[in-house]
Structure 1
């Protein structure tokens, strides 16, 4: 496949986006590695439960990034740069408000939420500790989402990469110091992540403030604009709720299979998430390019770019699947897994690798339709694919975590069908700011 001008634009956006996207799973992978070596299997399982709750929380608010990317990119393509920055400022205010609300609600609800997973009493206590400390960083986490969306919409994925690399390095250093040197236990791992994410949010705010002042955009919250940012993301919220239901059901089923199965599933989930974010780098390019080209009224360029990105998604998925197979014997050692966990983990990594090419296409098409503002269709598609998954998951509950991962494969195939049908049509090609 010869490299075209479109390929170069995709790579210009996707390569830096990859580094920024993998930051969040790298935060948790660093936590898993440090906690696994310093605190043992029970703590790893607790981290799996708490990490699932936190990932759910962040993903439910991912519209702060995706919705902002789409709106800012469209206005940029239409040449309305001041209004594009206004949308970005409104998104950051909304993120801050939601983050503070999550602290107020999440702290008293943490024990009840953890109990839903059916973990052992020792694991549950550790999970509540990690979750409560991590909630303090919720405003920072969500401001990072909104700030990232602003810069992606402005076709800048390099700044998020710089911030992500710095945050990851700081997170790893602080976690190692707090857990392995100071002996703060699982709370130390959470504090390291909170501090790193909050400093990353400060950097994003500084960048957006500088851009807003350059364009003369007011920095005070615009209540109507913040409300629009929230209501525009409702359909994306429905889509994300469906995604999280799938993953939460899988985690609950894995939890009830036993401690070794839960630990193996938790590690495999973080590996899969890392791969998913790697593939989502192309989807981020899709959001930015689709929003900009449709904002400029160029549907031909939109379709051409979509075709190129789908090809990139397929081949990237093949490459990642091969890397999982090659690295499979080494992964248990990275987490100091005991023999039982190792046996389960080595088995489940096969389906993780097998489904990567399908994931590549699904993620690209998802990003393209988000960039097009086709949120209503994505919401309905999320409902139907979740309904396709649930029976497969219930059947898999009696056959172990390999079968559970195959049920997740059924879900990915259902997403491939629904997104593919939409992409070949023209209903999503709506132009203008």
Structure 2
């Protein structure tokens, strides 16, 4: 969003004039420029962390296999802890978008304040718990050898970044809700650039910096996360000062337990949904490993490409979430429905283009990752499942975004759990019993995606998700 449209711009903006509502109507129209204006910066935010992790791996990798293994185990633990709390971004977006659409910008930013308090509280608790259990957890995953020692060393430092990661999630959430995805991109990139520079300096002691080796990687992570979190908090304080310049208005920085409870209810459903995904993909990795090194390596290559596709499609889902939430907050149910189907068509077409590109590159793309003939042979088994489900994923991701924007997290939770239990998990474990190999695993993923597509298409067509109003209501009672 251009700076002239940022949240809490002036007293006229905060009072919600007719002109402001007309401007919001234009914002929520969902034309190509508007969608791309939201989706492209969101894609940058989503891609920043994986790209930095690649650099971190490359820098630490020059220390040797032991340090790299320690980073892998420690990073896995921290990632599992933080990724279960994405409700701080997605849930906050849903709640803030409705308020923003209704012209209640102060309340939309207030959602960010309360989400930030939750982030700090949950993050502090995570630091304490992980410090207490770092040794047992790393030994459980890596065994009792040197890898566990290195992983514990990294994790004990890196976990201090947990509250900062969560603050950035909350900041992304409320800024997306007020249709500003450009500022979060700047904040996240600033932190990642600082981490990247410090990682090179502190791991290897470059340019007179101390050589801290693996610990330097953890310190660099925390430093960058600190900068991003400070920028997000500073943005909240700026909005408060701007709003407070008008007598009788303002954004309270005090914790509001009622708002935080409502955010946690939405978060509960999103966490359960996330756990279903984790169970599926961890099961897939476990079963693939039973088929030998070539199978698990091929599965990892294709899965990483799938994660890239998912990342790209998720940026369109974020645009859907933001625009649909605002339309419902403004009371435009029919407009929200039109947006839902328009964004779904966009996503499906884009996913189909990606599928055609990967189909054309079937003989070339896997060789960019490995030249092992056995791995390439196994990758060819999974490849056409991977290509075939992309158009399906385009529909699923877009409508996930629509329903998240509507606050229909209870339905998404139930549908994801049911599709996992009926489709993905039975086929994955059957592939182990009947020796179906990667074909069974990726058939399970295909069935999972098709079932999810049918579920979200049915829900969207029913219209039961499209409930107008500025305050996000629990959707589970609506069926």
TM-score by length of structure 1 reads 0.86
Q: Which residue pairs with 1:202 in the alignment?
A: 230
1:413 to 450, 454, 459: 450
* Counterpart contact for 1:28–1:270, Cα < 8 Å: no
* Counterpart contact for 1:36–1:44, Cα < 8 Å: yes
Alignment of 1:76-155 (within 5 A): 76-114=100-138, 121=145, 123-155=147-179
CA distance in 2, matches of 1:302, 1:76: 15
Deviation at residue 222 of structure 1 after TM alignment: 2.4
Q: Which residue pairs with 1:192 in the alignment?
A: 220
Q: Which moved more, 1:44-53 or 1:313-322?
A: 44-53
Find out whether 1:295 has 2:329 as its counterpart: yes
- Gaps in structure 1 of 5+ consecutive residues: none
CA distance in 2, matches of 1:272, 1:120: 33
Alignment of 1:212-361 (within 5 A): 212-215=240-243, 216-254=250-288, 265=299, 268-322=302-356, 324=358, 326=361, 329=364, 339=372, 343=376, 347=380, 351-361=385-395
CA distance in 2, matches of 1:142, 1:308: 32
Provide the aligned length of Structure 1 versus Structure 2: 427
Deviation at residue 268 of structure 1 after TM alignment: 4.9
Find out whether 1:396 has 2:424 as its counterpart: no
With over 3 angstroms needed to count, the CA separation of the structure-2 counterparts of 1:332 and 1:58, relative to structure 1, is farther
* Counterpart contact for 2:328–2:467, Cα < 8 Å: yes
Find out whether 1:423 has 2:448 as its counterpart: no
Deviation at residue 328 of structure 1 after TM alignment: 7.8
Deviation at residue 229 of structure 1 after TM alignment: 2.2
Deviation at residue 114 of structure 1 after TM alignment: 4.6
CA distance in 2, matches of 1:261, 1:180: 35
Find out whether 1:22 has 2:56 as its counterpart: no
Q: Which residue pairs with 1:372 in the alignment?
A: 406
CA distance in 2, matches of 1:108, 1:349: 43
* Counterpart contact for 2:366–2:376, Cα < 8 Å: no
Q: Which moved more, 1:147-156 or 1:171-180?
A: 171-180
1:56 to 76, 80, 88: 80
* Counterpart contact for 2:195–2:221, Cα < 8 Å: yes
CA distance in 2, matches of 1:317, 1:151: 26
Q: Which moved more, 1:377-386 or 1:266-275?
A: 266-275
Q: State the secondary structure of the residue aligned to 1:431.
A: coil
Q: Which moved more, 1:288-297 or 1:102-111?
A: 102-111
CA distance in 2, matches of 1:50, 1:344: 32
> Higher RCO, 1 or 2 (CA under 8 Å, sep at least 6)?
1
CA distance in 2, matches of 1:139, 1:319: 39
CA distance in 2, matches of 1:226, 1:352: 39
After superposition, give the CA deviation of every residue in 1:118-152 in whole Å (9 maximum; x if it has no partner). Answer: 77955555444444433221011110100000100
After superposition, give the CA deviation of every residue in 1:350-407 in whole Å (9 maximum; x if it has no partner). Answer: 6444433222221111111010011111111121022021112213345555643443
CA distance in 2, matches of 1:108, 1:340: 45
CA distance in 1, matches of 2:186, 2:96: 21
After superposition, give the CA deviation of every residue in 1:242-301 in whole Å (9 maximum; x if it has no partner). Answer: 222222323444556667766665565444333322211111011111110001111121
With over 3 angstroms needed to count, the CA separation of the structure-2 counterparts of 1:30 and 1:269, relative to structure 1, is farther
Deviation at residue 424 of structure 1 after TM alignment: 1.4
CA distance in 2, matches of 1:251, 1:5: 39
* Counterpart contact for 1:118–1:256, Cα < 8 Å: no
* Counterpart contact for 1:362–1:415, Cα < 8 Å: yes
Q: State the secondary structure of the residue aligned to 1:233.
A: helix
TM-score by length of structure 2 reads 0.79
Q: Which residue pairs with 2:93 in the alignment?
A: 69
Q: State the secondary structure of the residue aligned to 1:26.
A: helix
